Amino acid sequence: MANNVLTVGNAKIISLHDTVIPSRMTDFIPGTKPGDWKKYPKEVDEKGFARKPMNIAAFLVITPKQKVLVDAGIGPVPFPSSPDLVGSMLGRLKRTGVQPEDIDMVFATHVHLDHMGWCAVLDGNKLTRTFPRAKYVVPQTDWDSLFNPKAVYKRRPKDTSDQGMEIMSWSKPLAERMAIFGNIEHTTEDGQNITPELKVMDTPGHTPGHQSVLLSSKGERIFFPGDAMHFPVQLDVPERIVGADVHPKLGARTRSRVSKWMEKEGVMVASCHFPAPGFGHVVRGKGRRYWQPLKPK
């Protein structure tokens, strides 16, 4: 089996690479200098760049009754912070034998562009619907933060980063198009099932309503943390503030909680931003917490 395909109970998970973003940890985690990362020579180089750039991926989850995309990559429109960056995920999806019309649901862990990008394709200059039958499911609080921000930020006004807010604003044109496409539903509760196998878990901070996903099938599990963390090295320093988080302090608390939970549970993890294909476990050894990628079979 290719190393981007995993079987979990009755489900098949296929990691679909979209693109990569070169990333400097000293920018990603503001206030750190290259020297601060000396302890992690395998993960961060002497100039402060992550040795492996941030992967952008989506996961195709095939269950006996449904085909679900957990996140939908950067998509066909250049990413605002890196104008050369467009995704390749849709071609990879088709090469698995699954066509856009086969997708039953797209769940976005949050409303950032690199998680909803392929919800639309370009037809000339116009964004049109990519997955004609799919229901789009997006956390309610995140959707509100684009279309009814007062309701959200009234509850969390004191811990908001300008960078996080700017990144959030990039998503609005696409979300407006999605609203016109219709067939959008929202998750409103922690622990809500979106399919019999997939349950969302509240992991706010990166965005106000960010949710991770846990798949359980026949006693086996796999966890999709979404953007609770972006780089494996963060597992050991989850408390470090991330500039791209809308609510940086809440994000740090969530990252600490999720990192500990993944280690304690020993759960299989599918990370959209860890190096492709993003499957592995969070383990402890040599006095630190680290990422152990799944060995290719």
Which stretches of the chain bind Zn ion, using CB under 5 A?
A: 114, 227
- What is the closest distance, in whole angstroms, from the C-beta atom of residue 22 to Zn ion in the complex? 15
Residues 52, 59 contacting (CB under 8 angstroms): no
Instruction: Kindly tell me which of 63 and 240 has the beta carbon lying closer to Zn ion.
Output: 240
Beginning with the edge strand found earlier in the chain, give each strand of the sheet holding 5-8 in spatial order.
5-8, 11-21, 54-62, 67-70, 105-107, 135-139, 184-187
Instruction: Kindly tell me which of 21 and 283 has the beta carbon lying closer to Zn ion.
Output: 21
Instruction: Kindly tell me which of 28 and 37 has the beta carbon lying closer to Zn ion.
Output: 28
- What is the closest distance, in whole angstroms, from the C-beta atom of residue 71 to Zn ion in the complex? 8
Amino acid at 145: S
Instruction: Kindly tell me which of 57 and 105 has the beta carbon lying closer to Zn ion.
Output: 57
- What is the closest distance, in whole angstroms, from the C-beta atom of residue 114 to Zn ion in the complex? 4
Q: Residue 108: CA atoms inside 13 Å, Cβ hemisphere, count?
A: 32
- What is the closest distance, in whole angstroms, from the C-beta atom of residue 238 to Zn ion in the complex? 16
- What is the closest distance, in whole angstroms, from the C-beta atom of residue 242 to Zn ion in the complex? 11
Non-local (6+) Cβ contacts of 186 within 8 A are 137, 138, 139, 140, 143
User: Which residues partner with 129 through β-bridges?
Assistant: 120
Residues 146, 168 contacting (CB under 8 angstroms): yes
Cα-flanking dihedrals φ and ψ of residue 79, to 5°? -75, 130
Residue 195, Cα to own-chain centre: how many angstroms? 19
Instruction: Kindly tell me which of 66 and 146 has the beta carbon lying closer to Zn ion.
Output: 146
Token pair, residue 221, equals 């599990």
User: Which residues partner with 198 through β-bridges?
Assistant: 215
